[in-house]
Amino acid sequence: MADPGGEASTSLQHPSLLQCVSPAMSSGEVVVWAVGKHVFRYATNTRRGKMVDGEHTDTVRAIAHSNRGLWSTAGDDKQVILWDEGFEHVLARYTHRKKITTAVFDPDGRLIIGDKYGEVWRLTPVETTSQIGEPRHIEFAQAPPNSMEPEAQGCAELLFGHLAVVTAMECIQTHGYLFTADRDEKIRMSLYPSYQVIHAFMLGHTEYVSALHYSPQYEQVISTSADGTIRRWSLSTGQQVGAAFHVDPTSKRAVIACSAYDYTCDKIYYVCENSPTVVVTLGLPGAPETGAEITIEALVASSKLLVAAYSFSLMPLYLLGILLQSLW
């Protein structure tokens, strides 16, 4: 099975597309993804992309976007890098003590990261005054004292820990929840910012959870997993309300990541290991519990599917290569 990867951000201009799409810039929407240590930026209106200057020295596992116009990339080199909206300038850096597996910004612009030690930390970017025309300048604030880690010093505040690698996170500002998933198939539903309070454990997956997404229309959390299923969970109770196999359960393949959820038509776009296709499922209330595979040709023809495809940080390389050839 493939290793768990990272996550990304929300679109304000097209809110139905819920991962790896930034708010619109003057040049149009931007999609950011990673392959290995390389980060790519793609403008969907001009269909032009570029490789961001190499700042990471190892695989990038997490990409996140804040509502304050910041991007964050992090991964196996233990580096957290903050970028401006256009990926032109590095605004801040932080070196973590463990490899980083996932990241998400909270509503207040603080960055929450999960690591391979199973711990969840929080960083607080603080913007300092800069002169007009100069790049933004940001520093990470000193973390408050923490009785859980009295010897720890620096910018990272320890929130809580899992007993396994943290694989995915989702922060839902409208309901005050932080969801964290791990390699031991568990999803923890915590109150946020009162993260010490556990609202529920969402149990049912039989292998690691690869991604989490929020469905605002149905007030459900969507999870994908290496067990080959996409499951739906009630936001109020944390109970499972539905599950669907993307293929015959006897020939399951790991769902590498949920690329995007389009709630205007109840579709989830995702990719599976060793499969050169993107799968679309209509697995929400009132829709059939079946999936359909989309070919590369159909993917290129649809801008919405195109955006969805590029949000995978663990997409099979041959699939990504085919897509790149059609765009550059």
pLDDT at res. 133: 67
pLDDT at res. 61: 87
Q: Is the pLDDT reported for residue 164 higher than 90?
A: yes
Q: Considering only 69-83, 111-125, 224-238, which range has the smallest mean pLDDT?
A: 224-238
pLDDT at res. 73: 92
pLDDT band at 291 (very low <50, low <70, confident <90, very high): very low
pTM above 0.85, yes or no: no
Average pLDDT over residues 242-261: 57
Q: Is the pLDDT reported for residue 45 higher than 90?
A: no
Q: Domain 30-129+154-327: what homologous superfamily?
A: YVTN repeat-like/Quinoprotein amine dehydrogenase (2.130.10.10)
CA 34 to chain centre: 12
Q: Domain extents for the chain?
A: 30-129+154-327
pLDDT band at 152 (very low <50, low <70, confident <90, very high): low
pLDDT band at 251 (very low <50, low <70, confident <90, very high): low
pLDDT at res. 321: 32
Residue 325 or residue 291, greater confidence: 291
Q: Considering only 165-169, 196-200, 272-276, 306-310, which range has the smallest mean pLDDT?
A: 306-310
Average pLDDT over residues 183-197: 94
pLDDT at res. 271: 55
Q: Considering only 134-138, 191-195, 222-226, which range has the smallest mean pLDDT?
A: 134-138
Q: Is the pLDDT reported for residue 115 higher than 90?
A: yes
Residue 74 or residue 283, greater confidence: 74
Q: Is the pLDDT reported for residue 63 higher than 90?
A: no
Average pLDDT of the chain is 70
Average pLDDT over residues 126-152: 73
pLDDT band at 130 (very low <50, low <70, confident <90, very high): low
Average pLDDT over residues 19-29: 33
pLDDT at res. 314: 31
